[in-house]
Structures are given as C-alpha cells and as structure tokens.
Structure 1
Amino acid sequence: MDAGAVATELLAFLEGAVTLWLLDPGTVDLPALYRRYLDRLF
C-alpha cells in the first residue's frame, strides 16, 4: 500500500465532505459520512 496515495485520497475525501457539509449542514451527517468512509478504507 502506498502511504502517500492513501494520504492524498483521505485528504481529498475530508475536504470534499466538509465542503458538502458547509453547503448544506442540515442534510449532511458529517460524523456518519466519516465513519462510512473510514470503515471502507480500513
């Protein structure tokens, strides 16, 4: 596993997820989104 590639993917996800949440915080469950993503990653 390429640690640099995983780090890049993780940062891209985090930035995208926060952007979605900032645009519509009432419908985006940020903690649940993080959990689902991290469960799939690891």
Structure 2
Amino acid sequence: MSNSEQKIITFEEGWDFMHKVIQKLLQDLPDPHFTSPDHYPQLVT
C-alpha cells in the first residue's frame, strides 16, 4: 500500500491498536513478526 492509498483511521481505532501494543510490551509478550512492510508505519504513526 503506497502513501496515497493509506487508510485514514480515527483516533479511537489508532489508540486501540497502540493500547494492545503497549500492553504486550508491559506484559513482556513477544510482538508478532511483521508480515509486510505496511505494518511498520502503523506502529509509528
């Protein structure tokens, strides 16, 4: 997915995703491996 094709999400959708990632870090659970380059921008935006 290119930059021009990225889906715009609401704050609530983004926060839900970030909350899950933060909880995994706090629980020291391994994060799933990236399956495509498209996953990385989801974590940094």
User: TM-score, normalization: structure 2?
Assistant: 0.43
User: TM-score, normalization: structure 1?
Assistant: 0.46
Return the structure number with greater helix share.
1
